[in-house]
Amino acid sequence: MRSSTPRRRPLALAVLTLTAALLPAVPPTAAAGPSASTSASAPQECAPEVATAGGIEVRAKPGAKVPEPPASGGGPDLLQGREPVALSAPGSIRVPTSVHVIAAGPTRAEGYLSPAEVEAQIDVLNTAFAGQGGPGAADTAFRFDTVGTDWTVNPAWYQMLPGSTAEQQAKTALRDGGDETLNIYLSGLGGGLLGYAYFPQQGGDSKPWRDGVVVLNESIPGGAEDDYDGGDTLPHEVGHWLGLYHTFQGGCSTANDRVTDTPAMAVPTSGCPQGKDTCLKDAGLDPVENFMDYSYDECMFAFTPGQAARMDAVWQAFRAGDR
Ligand SMILES: [Ca+2]
Ligand SMILES: [Ca+2]
Ligand SMILES: [Zn+2]
């Protein structure tokens, strides 16, 4: 799916634009109140596990018009205060997966994807979580079994931007299952968004309909979205659905994205730069190959073992109970 030689683009302007748009939202605890002001890495050991609004995460193209919302809703980290759990074996967690195609009309140009296109997208998802996307990629516990696919023609829902009435109406009408079921909405979006997702909800969910991932239809394998047409937006959003932050979350802080084996990075990546290192005091180059960065699909292919373990723990804490 990927060429062996990453294409190089003039990236500087795109990076600057994206950085300017995203910087206010990047620090994971900046909006979390006074207790987070001294160090992003200091665990709040006595903090109660309280209900929070939960987080929304989006993948956006450079220059996206829709600003990125805060990552975690300002609450404590999902796994804060929880005991470590035993790791699940690779491939041992089968996630029931329900796919909802939302089109503006009955033609492919209006987003009416074919069954084969949907299947190809789920194949990319499973390849990603099996660690088969490229060298060094971790095999995770997760595999995704399609339990249903439905098609809806509704121009009013086609964009379904985060927080919109269209999002609520579409999801309320179409969502299947409970916390354990991955609901995927393939729609037209807009505003430069490639996709968005919500973290599992802590302490009870006031909007259970919201759970799921929304992905730009043209980001599927072979879609029309240049540079983001390898199908890698979906694994990125599912990473969020399983509690992963962006790898640039928290910038060069120690806690960073709450995963120890992803080198810290100061800013999101655009394109496929080689040798990018924006946190010189943190060992390792920026993980541009990671699904949780913003790189082009052709060079985005890996979760790390640490991310696999975090997703496993988040699954066990927030989603497995509904299976
Ligand atoms: Ca990290
Ligand atoms: Ca570094
Ligand atoms: Zn994201």
| Radius of gyration over every alpha carbon of the chain, rounded to an integer in angstroms | 18
* Average pLDDT score, the chain: 82
Q: Is the pLDDT of residue 148 over 60?
A: yes
Query: Any idea which ligand is nearest the CA of 258?
Result: 1
- What pLDDT score does 201 carry? 77
Query: Any idea which ligand is nearest the CA of 247?
Result: 1
- What pLDDT score does 5 carry? 36
Instruction: Give every CB contact of residue 245 below 8 A, 6+ residues apart in sequence.
Output: 28, 57, 71, 72, 257, 258, 259, 292
Find the 241 Cα to ligand 2 centroid distance in Å.
27
Report residue 88's pLDDT band, with 50, 70 and 90 as the boundaries: very high
Q: Is the pLDDT of residue 310 over 90?
A: yes
- 90 dihedral zone (left: phi>0; alpha: psi -120 to 50; beta): beta
Q: Indicate the range of 64-68, 136-140, 241-245, 317-321 predicted with least confidence.
A: 64-68
Question: Percent of the chain having pLDDT more than 70?
Answer: 76
Find the 101 Cα to ligand 2 centroid distance in Å.
40
- 243 dihedral zone (left: phi>0; alpha: psi -120 to 50; beta): left
Contact, 220 vs 116, CB < 8 A? no
- What pLDDT score does 252 carry? 95
Query: Any idea which ligand is nearest the CA of 294?
Result: 3
Q: How far apart are CA 290 and CA 138, in angstroms?
A: 11
Report residue 60's pLDDT band, with 50, 70 and 90 as the boundaries: confident
Q: Is the pLDDT of residue 40 over 60?
A: no
More confident residue, 322 or 285: 285
Q: Annotated active-site positions, please?
A: 237
Find the 156 Cα to ligand 1 centroid distance in Å.
40
Find the 72 Cα to ligand 1 centroid distance in Å.
16
Q: Indicate the range of 38-47, 112-121, 183-192 predicted with least confidence.
A: 38-47
DSSP string, 86-139: PPPPTT-EEEEEEEEEEESSSSGGGT---HHHHHHHHHHHHHHHTT-SSTTPPP
Mean pLDDT of 101-108: 98
Q: Is the pLDDT of residue 80 over 80?
A: yes
Query: What are the boundaries of each domain within the chain?
Result: 51-80+95-323
What angle (nearest 5°) sits at the alpha carbon of residue 138, between those of residues 134 and 141?
130
Question: Percent of the chain having pLDDT more than 90?
Answer: 69
Q: Is the pLDDT of residue 14 over 50?
A: no
Query: Any idea which ligand is nearest the CA of 71?
Result: 3
Q: What is the 3-state secondary structure (H, E, C) of 191-213?
A: CCEEEEEECCCCCCCCCHHHCCE
Name residues with Cβ closer than 5 Å to ligand 1, which is an ion. Answer: 256-257, 259, 262
Residue 316: name the closest of 80, 57, 54, 86 by CA.
Answer: 86
Kindly report the length of the chain.
323
Q: Is the pLDDT of residue 55 over 70?
A: no
Name residues with Cβ closer than 5 Å to ligand 3, which is an ion. Answer: 57, 59
Give 227-282 pLDDT, tens digit per residue: 999 999 999 999 999 999 999 999 999 889 999 999 999 999 999 999 999 999 99
- What pLDDT score does 207 carry? 86
Report residue 76's pLDDT band, with 50, 70 and 90 as the boundaries: confident
Contact, 23 vs 30, CB < 8 A? no
Find the 278 Cα to ligand 2 centroid distance in Å.
6
| 215 DSSP 8-state letter | E
Report residue 65's pLDDT band, with 50, 70 and 90 as the boundaries: low
Distances (CA, A) of 295 to 30, 39, 246, 256: 24, 28, 11, 18
- What pLDDT score does 39 carry? 30
Q: Is the pLDDT of residue 15 over 80?
A: no
Instruction: Give every CB contact of residue 156 below 8 A, 6+ residues apart in sequence.
Output: 166, 169
Task: Tell me the HSE value of 123 on the side-chain side, using a 13 A CA sphere.
Answer: 11
Find the 244 Cα to ligand 1 centroid distance in Å.
11
- What pLDDT score does 190 carry? 83
The CATH class given to the 51-80+95-323 domain equals: alpha beta
Task: Tell me the HSE value of 132 on the side-chain side, using a 13 A CA sphere.
Answer: 11
Q: Is the pLDDT of residue 44 over 50?
A: no
- What pLDDT score does 30 carry? 34
Q: Is the pLDDT of residue 17 over 50?
A: no
pTM: 0.81
Q: How far apart are CA 134 and CA 298, in angstroms?
A: 10
More confident residue, 231 or 71: 231
Q: Which token pair is 279?
A: 């946190």
- What pLDDT score does 181 carry? 97
